[in-house]
Structure 1
Amino acid sequence: MFIVIAGLLAIIGALAGGYYFAMRPVPLKIAVGPPNSDDLKVVQALTQAFSQNHSYVRLRPVQTEGAAESAQALADGKVDLAIIRGDLNVPKNAQAVATLRKNVVVLWVPAGRGKGKKGGKITKISQLAGHKIGVIGRTPANVNLLKVILQQYGVDPGKVEILQFPVTEALDAVRSQKADVWLAAGPVNSKITTEAIAASTKDGGTPTFLAIDSAEAIAQNHQEYESADIPAGAFGGSPDRPDDEVKTISFNHHVVARKGLSESTVAAFTRQLFSVRQQLMSEFPLAAKIETPDTDKDAAIPAHPGAAAFVDGEEKTFLDRYSDFIWWGLMALSAMGSAGAWFAGYLKKDERIINTSMRDRLLDMITIARKSDSSEELDNLQSEADDILRNTLACFEDGAIDHAALTAFNIALEQFHNAVADRKLILMSMPQNLQRTGAQLRATGT
Structure 2
Amino acid sequence: MSTPAINLWPRWLRILIVGAATATAIGSGWFAYRYFAKPVVLTVAAGSADGESLALISAISARLSASNSHVLLKVSDAGSSAKAAELLAAGKADLAVVRGDTRGLADARSVLLLTHGVVLIVTPAAVSADSLGDLHDTTIGVVGGAINAPTVEALKQVYQFDRAKVTFKNVAINDAAASLASGKVHALLAVVPLTEKYLAKVRQFFHQERAKGAGLKLIEIESAGAVANVAQYYESYEIPKGTLRGAPPVPSDDLTSLRLSYFLVANKSVNADAITDLAQSLVDAKRDLLSQFPILAQAAAPSTDADALIPIHPGAATYYNGNQQSFFDKYDDKLYYGSLLLGSLISILVAAWRFARSGRGPESMLEPLYEPGNEIRMAKSEAELDQIERRIDSILKAELARNAGGEGADGAEMAALGLASQRLQYLMSHCRTRLDHTLARPASN
- How does the TM-score come out when normalised to structure 1? 0.77
1:270 maps to: 279
Q: Cα distance 1:426–1:285, how it changes in 2: closer, same or farther (>3 A)?
A: closer
Of 122, 128, 131, which residue of structure 1 is paired with 2:135?
Answer: 128
Q: Is the 8 A contact 1:150 1:156 kept in 2?
A: no
Among 267, 280, 295, the residue aligned to 2:289:
280
Aligned-residue offset at 1:70: 1.1
Pick one of 197, 221, 240 that aligns with 2:249: 240
Matches within 5 A, 1:414-433: 414-418=418-422
- The match for 1:117 is none
Matches of 1:240 and 1:267, distance apart in 2 = 44
Instruction: Compare 301-310 and 203-212 and name the one that shifted more.
Output: 203-212
After superposition, residues 107-256 of structure 1 pair within 5 angstroms as 107-113=121-127, 121-138=128-145, 140-156=146-162, 159-189=165-195, 191-197=197-203, 199-200=205-206, 206-256=215-265
1:109/1:122 contact within 8 Å kept: no
CA distance in 1: counterparts of 2:178 and 2:150, whole angstroms: 23
Aligned partner of 1:296 in structure 2 is 305
Alignment partner of 1:382 is 2:389: yes
Residues 420 and 147 of structure 1, relative CA distance in 2, 3 Å threshold? closer
Q: C-alpha separation between the residues in 2 aligned to 1:83 and 1:423? A: 95
Tell me if 1:44 matches 2:44. no
Q: CA RMSD in A?
A: 4.4
For 1:266, the aligned partner's letter is I
- Once the 2 structures are TM-superposed, how far is the Cα of residue 249 of structure 1 from its aligned partner? 1.4
Amino acid at match of 1:66: S
CA 1:393–1:131 in 2, change beyond 3 Å: closer, same or farther? Answer: farther
Larger displacement relative to structure 2 (210-219 or 182-191): 210-219
Could you tell me whether the CA contact under 8 Å between 1:7 and 1:333 is conserved in 2?
Answer: no
Q: Deviations over 1:404-442 (max 9, x none)?
A: 8x7665334312444566899999xxxx9x988755799
* Matched AA of 2:153: K
Provide the residue aligned with 2:118 in structure 1: 104
Residues 4, 336 of structure 1: 8 Å contact kept:
no
Between stretches 259-268 and 356-365, larger displacement belongs to 356-365
Matched residue SS, 1:163: strand
The 1:156–1:191 alpha-carbon spacing in structure 2 relative to 1, beyond 3 Å, is: farther
Q: Once the 2 structures are TM-superposed, how far is the Cα of residue 73 of structure 1 from its aligned partner?
A: 1.2
Residue 170 of structure 1 aligns with an amino acid whose one-letter code is A
Give the TM-score taking structure 2 as reference length: 0.77
Amino acid at match of 1:28: L
Structure 1 residues 359 and 109 mapped into 2: Cα distance closer, same or farther (>3 Å)? Answer: same
In structure 2, the residue matched to 1:116 is none
Retained in 1: the 8 A contact 2:18–2:352?
A: no
SS at match of 1:152: coil
CA deviation string 1:277-302 (max 9, x = no partner): 22222222122222222222222112
Counterpart-to-counterpart distance in 2, 1:38 and 1:44: 10
8 A Cα contact 1:31 1:74, kept in partner: yes
Task: Name the amino acid aligned to 2:243.
Answer: A
Cα separation, 1, equivalents of 2:441 and 2:395: 26
Q: 1:287 to 1:410 in 2, by over 3 A?
A: same
What pairs with 1:71-86 in structure 2 (closer than 5 Å)?
71-86=85-100
Query: C-alpha distance in 2, partners of 1:43/1:274?
Result: 13
Separation (CA, whole Å) in 1 of partners of 2:163 and 2:312: 35
2:340 to 331, 335, 351: 331
Q: Is the 8 A contact 2:101 2:150 kept in 1?
A: no
2 CA distance for matches of 1:414 and 1:442? 35
CA distance in 2, matches of 1:54, 1:384: 67
Question: 1:365–1:416: 8 Å Cα contact kept in structure 2?
Answer: no
Q: Match for 1:147: what amino acid?
A: E
Alignment match, 1:62? 76
Judged with a 3 Å threshold, the aligned counterparts in structure 2 of structure 1 residues 341 and 4 are, in CA distance, closer, same or farther, namely farther
1:378-405 C-alpha deviation (Å, 9 max, x unpaired): 7565335346658989999xxxxx988x
Is the 1:29–1:80 Cα contact (8 Å) retained in structure 2?
yes
Residue 76 of structure 1 deviates from its aligned partner by 1.3
8 Å contact from structure 2 (residues 237, 258) kept in 1: yes
Deviation at 1:224, TM superposition (A): 1.1
Conserved 8 A contact 2:195-2:294: no
For 2:321 and 2:219, the matched residues in 1 are separated by 40
Cα-to-partner distance string for 1:100-140 (whole Å, 9 max, x where unaligned): 11011112332213xxxxxxx222322335321221112x2
* 8 Å CA contact retained: 1:306, 1:315: no
Number of residue-to-residue matches in the alignment: 420
Q: Is 2:316 the counterpart of 1:307?
A: yes
Residue 34 (structure 2) aligned to one of 8, 15, 20: 20
The 1-side partners of 2:180 and 2:441 are apart by: 135
Q: Distance in 1 between matches of 2:213 and 2:48?
A: 35
What SS is found at the alignment partner of 1:97? strand
CA distance in 2, matches of 1:21, 1:384: 58
Aligned-pair distance for 1:154? 4.2
Counterpart residue identity of residue 167, structure 1: I
Which blocks of at least 5 consecutive residues in structure 1 are unaligned? Answer: 114-120, 397-401
2:10 is matched with which residue?
none
Moved more, 233-242 or 216-225: 216-225
CA contact (8 A) 2:133 2:222 kept: no
Question: Any conservation in 2 of the 1:101–1:290 contact (CA below 8 Å)?
Answer: yes
Q: Which runs of 5+ in 2 are unaligned?
A: 1-13
8 Å CA contact 1:35, 1:64 repeated in 2: no
